[in-house]
Amino acid sequence: MNPNWEESLNHFERMIDSGTESMRIKAVIKLSKLSNQAPEYILSQTIPILSNLIADDSSNNSSPLQGLVIHCLKCIARQGDDGRLATEIGQSGALCSILRFLPQSNASVQKICLKCIWCLVNLCNENRLIVAMNGGLEIIVNMLSSSMDGVRRYLLEILSALSLVRVVRRGLVSLGGLRFLVEAARVGNMLSRERACQAIGLLGITRRVRRMLVDLGVIDVLMELLRVGDGALKVVAGNTLGVILANIDYIDLVAQSGAIPLFAELIQGSESVGQEIAEDAFCLLAVGEANAVVIAEHLVRILREGNAESKAAAANVFWDLSGYKHTVPVIRNSGAIPLLVELLSSQSSEVRETVSGAIAQLSYSQADREALNESGAVPLLLDLLHDDSEELKDNAAEALINFFDDPLQHETISQVVDHPSFRSMQNRLGRIRGASDNQTVSSMRQMNINQAEPTRDYDAGIYRRSSFGLIEASMQTCSMTIFTSILTVVSENLRISIFEWFG
């Protein structure tokens, strides 16, 4: 038989209002047990009653009712849809009351308090701000500094949730809490580690904090997440590692930790965001010639074995790396050129476009033109002049112009000098080069990127390629699009999975 919920609510109100301590305790225990059965609107009406009860009793740290009420609030917060009840609990003032007496409570009540706070900050973004604005960060950091073994995991996971709030990230450095954020990325459930990883990426934008994070061993932590994380976590970890790579002093350190094969896995993954992050990371890592050799080996394997998306991503990296003087011979010696030429006939338009772009860039080197010609690139490039894709025609024309300007290759393509695409590209390059005060632009890739207007956001943890295929070390010019999508992945999955870890 279903209980009469309205009558039960009235009885609960009477017990709390005029009952003895024992009667109040029994009423709260019963509400906790029935919280997973009661309608949401009934539970909602009990929240202000419980909030007032805990506020009135907050000066009595030894009261058994105190812990029972907090446990009851935790049970209620977990019910309903979309964390609405957790939001109401935060707005009722109960969360502030819990924070006030948390430091002075005994060990058993502290654990109950932390479980409740953990629940509230995981279910509601607004509760994170409430905790942060009411001294919660200082309390959590102080408790972690006291090595609270029995509740340390709760503390770390609360910290990781709070770290998504900007004011918390600012306070972490001054409070000496960075080491705990790195620890939070190392232990706990994967969703919590993902949040900590995001916060580390945001904090690591500044050079000083980046150095502090590296000194705290963050590279090893991020490498572990790249190895063991799920798809979304690998994307976040890869992005954060890319932020660390913004400092050239850490490039070899990251490479020696085994990052290159893991970024190659990201390129072969199903996440397009992950592929973009891996592409940019490879461009950073390739600053070291030894790294470039290893990267090229992985990219050649992907060109042979990968699906269309990963082949396009690999070709895009070659496109960028072919703009670095020291990597041009690396690409040629890797055996990539015959594979790139072969992929000009791919069924995928995306693959053809990125491959043709890479070949256009490579065609600025005489040795690469010879290798391209030996691999049969010229007839395929001539065919691409008749393709429907304007980008393909432009890339093909750019490469053919370089062959045409080469006395050794001139006769090979003399028959296309009157083709509209060839003429158009020749005129465009001529105008740009003529207006550059004798500073020759190496390719249309450089021209197009240089003309692009960057988007500025000083709180983004994502980097991207800047003009001329080079990497912008400041990490300040970036788009929030990628990072926003990462945050969306986390927020959509957070409530679904996180309660599998704790009761």
Residue 496 has pLDDT above 70, yes or no: no
Mean pLDDT of 348-373: 92
Query: Which pLDDT score is estimated for 393?
Result: 85
- Indicate if 71 and 181 belong to the same structural domain: no
Please write the tens of the pLDDT for every residue from 102-117: 988 888 999 999 999 9
Measured CA to CA, the distance from residue 200 to residue 244 in angstroms comes to: 10
Query: Which pLDDT score is estimated for 242?
Result: 93
Banded model confidence at residue 394, pLDDT cuts 50, 70, 90 = confident
- Indicate if 129 and 209 belong to the same structural domain: no
Buried b (16+ CB within 10 A) or exposed e, 280-306: bbbbbbbbbeebbebbbbbbbebbeeb
- Indicate if 31 and 94 belong to the same structural domain: yes
Measured CA to CA, the distance from residue 292 to residue 285 in angstroms comes to: 7
The structural domain count of the chain equals 2
Domain end, chosen from 91, 114, 134, is at 134
Both tokens assigned to 172: 């972490």
- Indicate if 114 and 141 belong to the same structural domain: no
Say if 376 falls within a structural domain.
no
- Indicate if 126 and 183 belong to the same structural domain: no
Residue 431 has pLDDT above 70, yes or no: no
Say if 165 falls within a structural domain.
yes
**To the nearest whole number, what is the mean pLDDT of the chain?**
82
Measured CA to CA, the distance from residue 76 to residue 78 in angstroms comes to: 5
Domain that residue 499 falls in? 137-257+462-503
What Rg do the C-alpha atoms of the chain give, in angstroms? 30
Banded model confidence at residue 485, pLDDT cuts 50, 70, 90 = very low
Residue 454 has pLDDT above 50, yes or no: no
Both tokens assigned to 432: 């740009």
Please write the tens of the pLDDT for every residue from 131-161: 999 999 999 999 999 877 789 999 999 999 9
Say if 66 falls within a structural domain.
yes
**Tokens 């393709």 belong to residue:** 387
Mean pLDDT of 382-401: 86
Query: Which pLDDT score is estimated for 409?
Result: 65
- The region of weakest confidence among 233-242, 301-310, 391-400, 473-482 is 473-482
Mean pLDDT of 436-456: 42
Query: Which pLDDT score is estimated for 62?
Result: 56
Both tokens assigned to 382: 């001539």
Measured CA to CA, the distance from residue 204 to residue 334 in angstroms comes to: 34
Note whether 77 and 85 are within 8 A (CB). yes
Query: Which pLDDT score is estimated for 449?
Result: 38
Note whether 318 and 337 are within 8 A (CB). no
Residue 219 has pLDDT above 60, yes or no: yes
Residue 430 has pLDDT above 80, yes or no: no
Q: Is 135 left (phi over 0), alpha (psi -120 to 50) or beta?
A: left
- The region of weakest confidence among 32-36, 180-184, 289-293, 496-500 is 496-500
Among residues 484, 473, 482, which one has the least CA distance to residue 283?
Answer: 473
- Indicate if 6 and 130 belong to the same structural domain: yes
- Indicate if 4 and 117 belong to the same structural domain: yes
- Indicate if 126 and 10 belong to the same structural domain: yes
Both tokens assigned to 343: 């992929």
Indicate the SS3 state at residue 211. helix
Residue 416 has pLDDT above 70, yes or no: no
DSSP 454: P
Q: How many CA atoms, within 13 angstroms, populate the side-chain half-sphere of residue 464?
A: 18
Please write the tens of the pLDDT for every residue from 221-259: 999 999 998 889 999 999 999 999 988 899 999 999 999
Report the chain's terminal Cα–Cα distance, integer Å. 27
Query: Which pLDDT score is estimated for 491?
Result: 36
Residue 487 has pLDDT above 50, yes or no: no
Determine how many CB atoms are found less than 10 A away from the CB of residue 268: 20
Determine how many CB atoms are found less than 10 A away from the CB of residue 214: 17
CATH classification at residue 200: 1.25.10.10
- Indicate if 1 and 99 belong to the same structural domain: yes
Query: Which pLDDT score is estimated for 90?
Result: 96
Please write the tens of the pLDDT for every residue from 27-39: 999 999 999 999 9
Both tokens assigned to 419: 């083709």
Query: Which pLDDT score is estimated for 82?
Result: 84
Q: Is 468 left (phi over 0), alpha (psi -120 to 50) or beta?
A: left
Query: Which pLDDT score is estimated for 474?
Result: 31
- Indicate if 130 and 240 belong to the same structural domain: no
Please write the tens of the pLDDT for every residue from 50-84: 999 988 755 555 578 889 999 999 999 999 778 89
Both tokens assigned to 481: 């699009």
Say if 359 falls within a structural domain.
no
Say if 487 falls within a structural domain.
yes
Query: Which pLDDT score is estimated for 56?
Result: 73
Residue 436 has pLDDT above 60, yes or no: no
Residue 22 has pLDDT above 90, yes or no: yes
How many H-runs (helices) and E-runs (strands) does the chain carry? 30, 0
- Indicate if 27 and 99 belong to the same structural domain: yes
Residue 478 has pLDDT above 60, yes or no: no
- Indicate if 25 and 128 belong to the same structural domain: yes
Residue 468 has pLDDT above 70, yes or no: no
Say if 268 falls within a structural domain.
no
